[in-house]
Structure 1
């Protein structure tokens, strides 16, 4: 079995045996077949590496085909024709109304999903456009260190491609307008898309981003954007007079970025950097408004071709300002609460959940006197939340005076928290440039979000602020929501919250401002991205029903979505993919909807749909509360996963605490990634079957007749097509004492008898085999009910799934299980003797079982050093017969036991990447 084809063929043969005995596990049996070959020496780890290379290429090719289906066509000429077909308006005013407001705000975030190496990303992107298979040579290359600086650079690269694609779209819009309305086209100021990022500014859940790093990033973005403006203008006219202003400004921004990239912990160093930035300087460009006006005036006085180029540059400046896009800062509600108590409530008596807090904050906002601030005030500030407002003030005063900044507040469950943010925005004189936005993501926030919005919009002081800003901004999140209440209940709860926002705005006379709804989700089906089509991807977080609520209330909608980390940046990995992505979005027009569209029965038959929603949520909640589920998900810690970002995935813990690890100790992305790797996306599928129990025909009819219902089922089918309960059960068998005791039975593999005996004895009391069996049983019962429901709903062809794909995943899982068995056997075969008396072999074994392999290897290498003083190092005249060379065996121990564990683990992580690529994203 030395090829992927051999593995999948063998797995297919083994599946036939399930007809004889339903308890037979083909995945685990294939892993045993492979394990026997490995332990006999017939299949070496080098052979396994070759198998995995083939698997990696197949998985990447699978992902490229899927992304290609979502984006097709990717050819520039085809996309130009597709965009032209969108220009359907016959009146200039209607055309301008459509293309002068963003169809979508796209936010490039740095969630830890940087799974692929640069070589793999490039190969995937090229294959997406060409549909050619990916070859092994194309994916060879180093994995960079995942620092914040690396993530920021990747975000800027993706945004740059997006900007270039938007320029092409703007040129097409202007060219069409010039041809169709030659007397009015100069009035047009296209703004089809707006881009933003929070990479380097998101402080929720991390303390490693200094304020000076945020300032430095913003200055670097300014320098990069000004340089790009220069290149664009020089391409129009190499001697354009505005270049004399833009080029020095770009150089000045780059110098200041360099200042803030240095170590500024010394007050003297900070003083020098700050004084350089705040000093008056003719190169210190703070607003593009005069340049935009100059370019558009010139455009009216020249030929159409040059005018289109000038207006395209002006449109880019209008969209992005003095940066690569707008920026989002983010803090936690608790950080804001601590800050406001220090400022307004030193006695600690203020309860932000009380009515009194609202009154207190209202008076404080009305009476606040704006404060001046400088970099010294920023440097000495200890409060994270206040520090963010001070940093925003410095950016607005000294980097870009025009581009507004978003302040996102995580875990925001009380209206008073938003007023706290408004207070600080007014305190530092930036309320006219800051959009304060609460994040609704926790179960509590989603359940009580309607009350939150009613109370907030009833506050006159907030309404005045929102009118001044021109929008009410909220954020809805799918990461924690999808983890704690399930992906389907989360989506339905979020759309109800969005509908409540439309009601609250209409009720409080706010139809004259826009509703900006930022939906943060990842690329995977487990974190809010629908895999069946780009149309579903955009409608999943902001449904047609929710859009119609705003349209019927006469409220302009500003939809905003995230493209998260390495997975999200793939949509913009090349200029061609970026153009295809934006063209598809322009075709779908997510900011618009038909208010008179027929009503969806899913929202009319609430007696059925609400019960369906609640039943799935209750089922998901039962999993989260179950010790069985938590123990299974954390059985291997996070050792199955590759490092995918600069933000930590979990808190530190000792060996024993891994057995009691709470799911709240790990973040949503690794939680979902572990589910993928175990073979079953529980938070997507689980509960749907049980929710229909006893009412299959009626529920099937409702879901079939409803567009929203069919969308739910498309998501479930996509996840179910990749799911395997047998795989979940197979992981439990690794800890089955009876398996290890029986493996060398009747003389088979007698060379493993000692190791298997030790494992069998060690695992007698281990709970993991029972945990995985119980979880698999629960999933199986629910899956039977799900299949009964799905059989009553016609299958759509939007998500191609094949048995070949399932077998490829099964083969990958079996190979990884075999590698784990090899690690276990090697770990217990290490000789007991050790130079380090404080090293317990049981501790090391438990580290290997929970895949804390780096720690285990560190301990083993300390126990069996290969570099230590040798008798031959000494030049002595007197002879000796001692020692007799026993230390020479340490090199052999490294070679035969320790190094194979490391090699097997490294190979297993490559399988992790392959499986994630088949799922279409990490976590």
Structure 2
């Protein structure tokens, strides 16, 4: 029996965690009941206050608190797994194999059920219909172990493919509950590349399986001709390590090293495949010696590649130069063209005497055709400004390239440069000495093509491309470095100007003979569209419509320039969240949302072959490819999308052009006003990215100014799109997805409802909004922002009975007053609130009509809403405790380039880690230096041991770190509910 009088009131982990959760549920119900009666009551705030009181009184110990966070996180995690499973559709690998076989057989059949000509079938199987692009966007919110557990729980199979029984599932859940839901501790480019390689391997395995099905179907239908078939179907690409847009922390040798590592990986895979095939042959099979030859050739190439990988892994210039010399000296040993390996496999396939060996070789040959020597094609990305700066002196470009007063002059100068360009010879030293990013990037491409795989073209993506001059600048460098025949220059249309003028930009470039000749020679036109920045500047639905308008204008554009026969490659960089253009209902709907039936219909009518590419961004995107079975399920959904004939009728959305233009113009104008509203930057900056762990190798961190205060966020453009959207998610308002839609609906509600009923396209757009609306909660937003209202703290102080607590709360109020954020936050809240009210009214009417029509409206279930509200309230209670601890920090002098007030304000904004680093310097915790030495005479001076601040560390600093850790773990649980960061 305990003698502690407070023990009866304290909730411990072992026996009362369920009681704590039960009490939390009861408190939430009471808070909601109060709010229903009192319009000024906020249920999130009421629950947070009740929890905060229990924390302050010691009625909830740290173990119970930790257990509560783990339990709420586990519930959110299991809900995410269930949604993941439903989103993907069929997951059983055998059923998916049957689906793929059905698709292939249908492709071999004519409209009357007759067998099509082999040439017709081959033409369809040997082209690329879709491209997977693996990117390193900062969405790594979970460790690799938790990613595997999430996918295992979702699909009911462990990573090896074995079905989870009840015991295995229980062990998994126990492991998940005990884990900290956060990314890897070491989250740098190398870790991102490691995870990207897993994705590529599993996609490779999925594609091999699909190719085998194609070849088996062909062998049954055309037994005399099937060996000539080289299926491709989809492509795989990566920009992990090659994307230098907006970052200077990836040196050129690191990019080249990542590309080398990809090649080493693929060469080793090919060698293993050939070895396995050779070992399976009967003794004396004449194919054996030829396979030994191929295996030996691959081993030689792999040895060279591995040696060079080690050289380029070092930042040391001499090591890199040694690798470069080796590469030049051993050129004959290297394999620098996939055509060499393809030719060897052709010889082996001709010599194969058994169906099994022939099929295995045909699959391997198809893989070489699809993936080349590097498993994933290379996407290099830079910024348009970098291209302009690299040519500023040569073209006299002293003004913006699209300045109407100088645009034609710059176009003429760029055209002249292209006409006069003569290829130059470079080496790795040329790259090392080059200072201009654009030149260095194109040189790097030239060396990749020259030394690694000349048969696989490189994509050259240009961010913020807003003028034809940019495309011509890229073409000049491509011609200068001799790669214009093997590089695909692709503009990225994502800014408002680029989305509005995308077709005109391409038209301006095609009006220049040099660019038109380049496109005709390449046989393809490539472009990239972005949903992330576009979504936050225009609103996600308005961005999607603007992107589709570019697609719809391409057929006519190409016809006007006599380019009807070329291939069109459209790379849509959308992510896994609503905020980045991922449709929330299913993977099938997500594909239709981006690659719209109407645009497909128009391309088909114009006789254009289109390759649809989409990105799978960072940790959120990699989830789908954690296992070979899940990767094959994704590939199956993609093949269903691209191989199934269009079945949707003409859509009313495109006939209602005037209404659609006005509707999405209203959305766009609202978001443009919000983005330029200074109060919006204040909203994004109150906590910044501090509610979450860093989620990528390019984390967003605010720095301290000279006064020890965090540097202010002046405009949303100062943070990237994913952190921007992640802040909104954590505050409880998905503003970039719902913003402006309420006002657009309010203009003509009847017409809105009619178009919703009649148009599948409009319905898909609005279902995005409905889903975002269901995860938007103004009570959560208000409770978060009230922490920056001095009146909130003063009211609490007035109610406090304890004098020390009263003084502490008044001190917090004074700091919040000096920060001066409340007025700005109140203004932006009211702007968003008015729009939310309009949308809520429209959706209430819509839901009534939806129910009458027998459809199911999008709603968040009660358990999910309860869990979310508890998480938000618990986090607010922890933030309050953290802030109150911060004002107890002892005063100190300004000699540490930080003030006491600035440090407290940093903690109020949750800049806890840098604040604690400063505090560790200001208040050092000294450790014993070892046994004392004999100095020959006594001393009573205590020395530095008497100046140790161990008590402050134990009482304040470590608890503050622990609270912030729980705050960020709760942020991860909120992400589980939304399914993705940003």
State the TM-score, normalized to the length of structure 2: 0.89
Q: Alpha-carbon deviation of 1:919? A: 0.6
Structure 2 residue corresponding to 1:897, chosen from 950, 956, 973:
956
Does structure 2 conserve the Cα–Cα contact (< 8 Å) formed by 1:409 and 1:437? yes
Structure 1 residue corresponding to 2:260, chosen from 194, 204, 219:
219
The answer on 1:262 being equivalent to 2:314 is yes
Alignment partners' CA distance in 1, 2:373 and 2:452: 8
Residue 743 of structure 1 aligns to a residue in which SS? helix
Structure 1 residue corresponding to 2:301, chosen from 239, 245, 249:
249
Does structure 2 conserve the Cα–Cα contact (< 8 Å) formed by 1:602 and 1:708? yes
Residues 15 and 798 of structure 1, relative CA distance in 2, 3 Å threshold: closer
Q: Alpha-carbon deviation of 1:346? A: 6.2
Residues 341 and 766 of structure 1, relative CA distance in 2, 3 Å threshold: closer
Alignment partners' CA distance in 1, 2:928 and 2:215: 77
Does structure 2 conserve the Cα–Cα contact (< 8 Å) formed by 1:650 and 1:665? no
Alignment partners' CA distance in 1, 2:949 and 2:484: 67
Structure 1 residue corresponding to 2:179, chosen from 136, 140, 162:
140
Q: Alpha-carbon deviation of 1:464? A: 1.5
Structure 1 residue corresponding to 2:547, chosen from 489, 494, 497:
494
Alignment partners' CA distance in 1, 2:618 and 2:89: 22
In structure 1, what is the equivalent of residue 138 of structure 2? Answer: 112
Residue 974 of structure 2 aligns to a residue in which SS? helix
Residues 378 and 833 of structure 1, relative CA distance in 2, 3 Å threshold: closer
Q: Alpha-carbon deviation of 1:731? A: 0.8
The answer on 1:386 being equivalent to 2:439 is yes
Alignment partners' CA distance in 2, 1:146 and 1:758: 38
Alignment partners' CA distance in 1, 2:943 and 2:365: 82
Alpha-carbon displacement from aligned partner over 1:626-667 (angstroms, at most 9, x marks no partner): 122221111123222211111242674625563453211111
Q: Alpha-carbon deviation of 1:210? A: 1.2
Alignment partners' CA distance in 2, 1:901 and 1:698: 54
Residues 171 and 800 of structure 1, relative CA distance in 2, 3 Å threshold: farther
Alpha-carbon displacement from aligned partner over 1:815-844 (angstroms, at most 9, x marks no partner): 110110011110112233679686532111
Residues 409 and 870 of structure 1, relative CA distance in 2, 3 Å threshold: closer
Residue 608 of structure 2 aligns to a residue in which SS? coil
Structure 2 residue corresponding to 1:50, chosen from 67, 76, 84:
67
Does structure 2 conserve the Cα–Cα contact (< 8 Å) formed by 1:515 and 1:555? yes
Structure 2 residue corresponding to 1:196, chosen from 237, 244, 252:
237
**Bigger shift: 452-461 or 118-127?**
452-461
Alignment partners' CA distance in 1, 2:27 and 2:277: 62
In structure 2, what is the equivalent of residue 331 of structure 1? Answer: 382
Structure 2 residue corresponding to 1:647, chosen from 679, 682, 698:
698
Q: Alpha-carbon deviation of 1:868? A: 7.0
In structure 2, what is the equivalent of residue 210 of structure 1? Answer: 251
Structure 2 residue corresponding to 1:824, chosen from 870, 883, 888:
883
Q: Alpha-carbon deviation of 1:5? A: 5.2
Alpha-carbon displacement from aligned partner over 1:516-556 (angstroms, at most 9, x marks no partner): 00101111110111111112211223322222222222111
**Bigger shift: 715-724 or 163-172?**
715-724
Does structure 1 conserve the Cα–Cα contact (< 8 Å) formed by 2:244 and 2:250? yes
Q: Alpha-carbon deviation of 1:689? A: 1.1
The answer on 1:68 being equivalent to 2:85 is yes
Q: Alpha-carbon deviation of 1:910? A: 0.6
Structure 2 residue corresponding to 1:565, chosen from 592, 600, 618:
618
In structure 2, what is the equivalent of residue 586 of structure 1? Answer: 639
In structure 1, what is the equivalent of residue 95 of structure 2? Answer: 78
Alignment partners' CA distance in 2, 1:848 and 1:372: 55
Residue 64 of structure 1 aligns to a residue in which SS? helix
Alpha-carbon displacement from aligned partner over 1:468-521 (angstroms, at most 9, x marks no partner): 111000010111111111111111111111222222112211111011001011
The answer on 1:279 being equivalent to 2:305 is no
In structure 2, what is the equivalent of residue 723 of structure 1? Answer: 776
**Bigger shift: 135-144 or 554-563?**
135-144
In structure 2, what is the equivalent of residue 693 of structure 1? Answer: 746
In structure 2, what is the equivalent of residue 295 of structure 1? Answer: 345
Alpha-carbon displacement from aligned partner over 1:365-389 (angstroms, at most 9, x marks no partner): 2232111111121111111110111
The answer on 1:527 being equivalent to 2:568 is no
Q: Alpha-carbon deviation of 1:148? A: 0.9
In structure 2, what is the equivalent of residue 98 of structure 1? Answer: 124
Structure 1 residue corresponding to 2:204, chosen from 163, 166, 175:
163
Residue 548 of structure 1 aligns to a residue in which SS? helix
Alignment partners' CA distance in 1, 2:935 and 2:424: 78
Does structure 1 conserve the Cα–Cα contact (< 8 Å) formed by 2:528 and 2:573? yes
Alignment partners' CA distance in 2, 1:68 and 1:479: 25
Does structure 2 conserve the Cα–Cα contact (< 8 Å) formed by 1:457 and 1:504? no
Residues 426 and 41 of structure 1, relative CA distance in 2, 3 Å threshold: same
Does structure 1 conserve the Cα–Cα contact (< 8 Å) formed by 2:460 and 2:488? yes
The answer on 1:183 being equivalent to 2:224 is yes
Does structure 2 conserve the Cα–Cα contact (< 8 Å) formed by 1:547 and 1:593? no
In structure 1, what is the equivalent of residue 163 of structure 2? Answer: none
Alignment partners' CA distance in 2, 1:837 and 1:82: 66
Residue 562 of structure 1 aligns to a residue in which SS? strand
Residues 259 and 179 of structure 1, relative CA distance in 2, 3 Å threshold: same
The answer on 1:864 being equivalent to 2:864 is no
In structure 2, what is the equivalent of residue 536 of structure 1? Answer: 589
In structure 1, what is the equivalent of residue 501 of structure 2? Answer: 448
Alignment partners' CA distance in 1, 2:151 and 2:409: 55
Alpha-carbon displacement from aligned partner over 1:687-719 (angstroms, at most 9, x marks no partner): 111111141111111122101111012111111
Alpha-carbon displacement from aligned partner over 1:748-790 (angstroms, at most 9, x marks no partner): 4555223112112333354333444433333332222212222
RMSD: 2.5
Residue 445 of structure 1 aligns to a residue in which SS? helix
In structure 1, what is the equivalent of residue 46 of structure 2? Answer: 29
In structure 1, what is the equivalent of residue 717 of structure 2? Answer: 664
Alignment partners' CA distance in 2, 1:866 and 1:884: 14
In structure 1, what is the equivalent of residue 8 of structure 2? Answer: none
Q: Alpha-carbon deviation of 1:601? A: 1.1
Alignment partners' CA distance in 2, 1:360 and 1:313: 48
In structure 1, what is the equivalent of residue 662 of structure 2? Answer: 611
Residue 14 of structure 1 aligns to a residue in which SS? helix
Q: Alpha-carbon deviation of 1:154? A: 1.0
Residues 376 and 836 of structure 1, relative CA distance in 2, 3 Å threshold: closer
Alpha-carbon displacement from aligned partner over 1:421-443 (angstroms, at most 9, x marks no partner): 11111111111110000010001
Alignment partners' CA distance in 2, 1:912 and 1:894: 25
Residue 113 of structure 1 aligns to a residue in which SS? coil
Structure 2: gaps spanning 5 or more residues: 1-10, 12-16, 110-115, 158-168, 280-287
**Bigger shift: 904-913 or 285-294?**
285-294
Does structure 2 conserve the Cα–Cα contact (< 8 Å) formed by 1:195 and 1:326? yes
Q: Alpha-carbon deviation of 1:885? A: 11
**Bigger shift: 273-282 or 668-677?**
273-282
Q: Alpha-carbon deviation of 1:265? A: 2.4
Alignment partners' CA distance in 1, 2:208 and 2:44: 50
Residues 314 and 884 of structure 1, relative CA distance in 2, 3 Å threshold: closer
Residues 535 and 871 of structure 1, relative CA distance in 2, 3 Å threshold: closer
- Number of residues paired by the alignment? 918
In structure 2, what is the equivalent of residue 910 of structure 1? Answer: 969
Residues 264 and 896 of structure 1, relative CA distance in 2, 3 Å threshold: closer
Does structure 2 conserve the Cα–Cα contact (< 8 Å) formed by 1:650 and 1:667? no
Q: Alpha-carbon deviation of 1:167? A: 0.4
Q: Alpha-carbon deviation of 1:854? A: 1.3
Residues 512 and 5 of structure 1, relative CA distance in 2, 3 Å threshold: farther
Structure 1: gaps spanning 5 or more residues: none
The answer on 1:810 being equivalent to 2:869 is yes
Does structure 2 conserve the Cα–Cα contact (< 8 Å) formed by 1:634 and 1:658? no
